[in-house]
């Protein structure tokens, strides 16, 4: 584990550094409080720190106060190194944000024990953060397909719509709906239907770029967000996804099942202009149902002529 030591006295600094290295720590050295504060602001700052109380510029307690003001996660465990032994001084150091203290000259066994306690705290916090991140990510995922769920994909879309409008860049959104999915459930069973949804999700996710997003919008409907994709790129992109679904039967337990999917595309940044998220989704949805009406297993695109009051959609296929 990496540990920061901040000590302005050369002899004390070298002794502390040598001791910690013998114990297997990777030591980062600061010569005063200002340098320590600079190091602690970096993204990969050590999560354990030993700060001398008395240093020129910023002393140990002041570094603690600044640290606690700006960051709570990931946590830096701070031990103050001090010659002060008065209870009021030690309380003041802890109030500044220190987690523990060691008196000078330090006892090797005492320092080792206190560092072990600090390391356990840092490791527990890292585990807690990882667990929280996993729970948060799980809450954004559809349990069946592993794709983003409806709320999460819509948040992604809103963010990308705002970015496209701000940067005057392009964005395409694709609505996809598996054709005759109810018939699959009725004839092959709901377990087969679930398998079809999982396989469709896998093929869609495998067909997009790393920075695109795919989500299950509801039932057998999916939403795909393609940043930087204008209408002329979004249509063939959707066509490639359509082909990935239709060109190979879906492998089920009892049979290989041919499955098709219909797609509707709406894009920002071209003739359609810049719209609100709900309007963009509505246009893609209307294009999707136009594809359904015209025979399914196809891609339709929405282009819009905008007036101040309304949007009139025209549908074209490519």
> Terminal CA-to-CA distance of the chain, rounded, Å?
58
- Asked whether the beta carbons of 303 and 313 are under 8 A apart, the reply is yes
307 vs 286: CA distance, rounded Å: 19
- Asked whether the beta carbons of 6 and 52 are under 8 A apart, the reply is yes
- Asked whether the beta carbons of 155 and 209 are under 8 A apart, the reply is no
- Asked whether the beta carbons of 218 and 151 are under 8 A apart, the reply is no
Q: 220, 239, 276, 305: which is the annotated catalytic residue?
A: 220
Six token digits for residue 176 = 């996809």
201 vs 261: CA distance, rounded Å: 12
State the residue for tokens 């983003």.
148
Six token digits for residue 56 = 């020129």
**142: nearest Cα among 196, 210, 214:** 214
Residue 155 among the catalytic residues: no
Cα atoms in the 13 Å half-sphere on the side-chain side of 74: 19
State the residue for tokens 């540990």.
3
106 vs 17: CA distance, rounded Å: 13
- Asked whether the beta carbons of 119 and 48 are under 8 A apart, the reply is yes
Catalytic residue positions, numbered: 220
């Amino acid at each position: 584990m990496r540990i920061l030591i901040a000590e302005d006295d050369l002899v004390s600094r070298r002794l502390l550094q040598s001791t910690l290295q013998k114990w297997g720590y990777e030591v980062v050295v600061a010569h005063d409080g200002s340098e320590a504060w600079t190091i602690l602001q970096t993204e990969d700052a050590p999560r354990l720190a030993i700060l001398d109380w008395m240093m020129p510029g910023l002393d140990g307690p002041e570094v603690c106060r600044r640290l606690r003001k700006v960051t709570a996660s990931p946590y830096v465990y701070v031990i103050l190194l001090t010659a002060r032994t008065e209870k009021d001084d030690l309380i003041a150091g802890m109030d500044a944000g220190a987690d523990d203290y060691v008196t000078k000259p330090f006892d090797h066994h005492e320092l080792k024990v206190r560092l072990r306690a600090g390391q356990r705290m840092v490791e527990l916090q890292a585990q807690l953060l990882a667990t929280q991140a996993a729970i948060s990510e799980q809450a954004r995922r559809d349990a069946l397909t592993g794709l983003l769920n409806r709320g999460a994909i819509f948040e992604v879309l809103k963010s990308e719509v705002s970015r496209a409008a701000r940067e005057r860049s392009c964005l395409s959104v694709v609505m996809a709906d598996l054709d005759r999915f109810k018939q699959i459930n009725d004839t092959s069973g709901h377990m087969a239907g679930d398998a079809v949804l999982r396989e469709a999700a896998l093929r869609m996710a495998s067909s997009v770029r790393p920075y695109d997003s795919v989500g299950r919008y509801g039932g057998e409907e999916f939403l795909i967000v393609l940043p930087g994709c204008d209408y002329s790129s979004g249509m063939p992109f959707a066509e490639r996804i359509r082909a990935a679904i239709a060109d190979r039967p879906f492998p089920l337990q009892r049979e290989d099942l041919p499955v098709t999917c219909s797609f509707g595309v709406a894009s920002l940044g071209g003739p359609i202009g810049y719209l609100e998220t709900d309007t963009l989704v509505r246009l893609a949805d209307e294009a999707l149902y136009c594809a359904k009406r015209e025979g399914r297993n196809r891609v339709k695109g929405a282009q819009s002529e905008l007036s101040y009051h309304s949007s009139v959609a025209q549908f074209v296929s490519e």
